[in-house]
Chains A and B, each alone.
Chain A
Amino acid sequence: MRPFRLDALTAVDLAVAASAALAAASAPDTRVGLAAGMAFALAVSALVWRSARPPTAMATVATVAAPPDDADTGRDGDDETDRLRREIRQMTTMLDRELVQAMGDVVARTARMAECAGDLKAMAADIQHSSASTADAVGMAASGVTTTAEAAGQLFRSLEGVRSEVRRTGEMCRQAVDRARAADRTVQSLAAATSHIGQVVGLIGTIARQTNMLALNATIEAARAGEMGKGFAVVATEVKSLATTTARSTEEISRQVEDIRAAIDGAVGSIGSVAEVIKALDEIATGMEAAMSGHLGLVEGIADRTRDAARSMEEARASLDDALAVNHKVNGAANEVDAEIEAVAERVRGFQKMTSLVVKRGLRVAGQEAARGLGVDFVLGNRRLQPREVVAEGSLLRLRGIEPLAPGGTVEIEIPGGDRASATVSARDGDDVLLSIADDRARDGVLRRLSARGGPG
């Protein structure tokens, strides 16, 4: 067994296994990925199995890629070997295509995963930003609510102070009403005293008028008495004058008493009005106290609810902090995923490069073996050409899968057994080269040799 045959098989097996692995990596569905993974495992197992087989079994496998050294062993064996060569070439070509396509898919999906990871990080950043803003807003709101709660507490205490003052005002109003009533009683007593004074003054006035009349009578009698009554007339006149003065004084006193009584009546009315006003104030203070009690209850309720709201805000902020921490972890995970994707991509690129090299190497080896399997060698100078396939086209030979050759060049064709023929590079057709063999006999020998190997047909 020749080592290169085993290498070719190993490359093909590796390509198959890589294809399965890539299918596993690119499969969106878990079950498909699992199946592909199993295929990969089977391929590896087959490789191991093949590697572990005894040499006889491996030689049998090697005939699939190339004929044994002795090409004349048998016609049936050669045909089977050529058919296996062609299948290997076809499978290698298909594997190459599948690998290229699978790698493209893997790269595309990896890129898509990277985009998703990028989107995830962007969303995490947005969430971070929004959550930070929300946390700030919640913090400010919590601060405001706390301030409001404190203000409500202060308002409650202030209202309590106001209620106390209002209560004290009510008590003072009631005291003022009592004092006003006492003043009213005092003024009423004063009015009664004044009325009594008026009565006394009236009595004095009456007495003064009567005295005046008596004095006038005395003057009349004294006048009647003539000269004898003159002295008495003087006394009577003086008495009358005093009585008149007394009467005028009592009239003045009466007027003063009337004024006093009027003033007292006014004072009584004023005191009554003041008492009424104070009573109204007392009622207002009582109403205010009741209303203040209600307001105190409301403010106390507001303060309680505001404190509850502040606690809820704090809880919300704590929850938001937790969410921020989780989001931070998500962002970290997204970064890790991104890094992993990059690592996978790097590995895929390396694997793609490696598989490409393996496939190319496999194809080249397969081509060499194919050329070797043809039973003829194509030599250009000191270089031995290794076409992947040789096809007869009339008098021309088409060599596929070799490096470009300049038209006009001469290629020596060596046929095992000593025969040789010269061919000229007549044209290039893509990756193919067309050879022209001028010597008819040599051309026929080459074609026969190729036909015997099942090559050109």
Chain B
Amino acid sequence: MASYLRLEVGPYYLLLPTDEVFEVLSFAPAPGEPGFVAWREDILSTVSLRGRLGLPEAGTGFLIIHGEDGVGREGLVVDKVLGLVELAEGDFQPVPLAASGARIHFDRVWTDSNAGRQALRLRSSRATGGAHASVPA
């Protein structure tokens, strides 16, 4: 079993493994400091999943601090954090074709029967970072 953060970014329902999640913070981008955030006497780069998914930026949201200690740690900006869920690997299914073309790696999909919708699992925290994270045109 593994635990996942249930997230929402625009119309996307996403799952992020909690293995390297340190903290969930409310987030409002400071003017003039796009792409960075001060966190516990450290300056971390931030990644907006909206931007990666080709959605317009929203005003506020949540910042998920994740990644390994040191240079690999970053802040992931999402719209909402819905909660936690523990799932087994057998609970997942292959990613549908429409979503598989996204530039962000979604490796598996889970059907949330309680919410009546499907959640895409981000491959890993690092997979969400970098310039390659994008959605189809």
Contact = CB atoms under 8 A, between A and B. Distances in A.
Interface of A: 209, 212-213, 216-217, 219-220, 222-224, 226, 229, 233, 237, 240-241
A219 B24 contact: yes
Contacts of B25: 219, 223, 233
Interface string B57-92: 000001000000000000000000101101000000
B42 interface: no
Closest 10 CB pairs of A and B: A223-B26, A219-B24, A220-B24, A237-B23, A223-B24, A219-B23, A220-B81, A223-B25, A226-B26, A213-B3
A240 B20 CA distance: 11
A237 B83 CA distance: 16
A220 B83 contact: yes
Nearest to A224: B26
A217 B21 CA distance: 11
12 contacts: A209-B3, A213-B3, A213-B18, A213-B84, A213-B86, A217-B84, A220-B84, A223-B25, A223-B26, A223-B62, A224-B26, A240-B22
A62 to B, nearest CB: 174
Interface of B: 3, 5, 18, 21-26, 62, 81, 83-84, 86
A194 B83 CA distance: 37
A233 B84 contact: no
Contacts of B86: 213
A237 B22 contact: yes
> At the interface, is chain B mostly helix, strand, loop or mixed?
strand
A219 B18 CA distance: 13
B62 A216 contact: no
Residue from the set A209, A220, A224, A237 with the largest chain B CB neighbour count within 10 Å: A220
Contacts of A222: 24
Nearest to A214: B84
A217 B62 contact: no
B18 A233 contact: no
Contacts of B5: 216, 220
Nearest to B20: A244
A237 B5 CA distance: 16
A34 to B, nearest CB: 142
B30 to A, nearest CB: 15
A212 B26 CA distance: 19
B84 to A, nearest CB: 6
A388 B26 CA distance: 193
A226 to B, nearest CB: 5
Contacts of B84: 213, 216-217, 220
A223 B82 CA distance: 11
A234 B83 CA distance: 18
A380 B86 CA distance: 187
A36 B113 CA distance: 163
B137 to A, nearest CB: 33
A212 B83 CA distance: 13
A435 B108 CA distance: 184
Contacts of A223: 24-26, 62, 81
Most B Cβ at <10 Å: residue of A219, A229, A233: A219
A303 to B, nearest CB: 83
B42 to A, nearest CB: 13
B77 to A, nearest CB: 12
A217 B23 contact: no
A240 B83 contact: no
A213 B85 CA distance: 10
Nearest to B25: A223
A217 B83 contact: yes
Given A216-B5, A216-B84, A223-B62, 11 more contacts: A213-B3, A213-B84, A216-B18, A216-B21, A219-B25, A220-B24, A222-B24, A224-B26, A224-B81, A226-B26, A241-B22
B25 to A, nearest CB: 5
Nearest to A241: B22
Contacts of A229: 26
A220 B22 CA distance: 11
A448 to B, nearest CB: 188
Nearest to B40: A237
A229 B23 CA distance: 13
Contacts of A226: 26
A240 B26 contact: no
A229 B26 CA distance: 10
Contacts of B18: 212-213, 216
Contacts of A240: 22-23
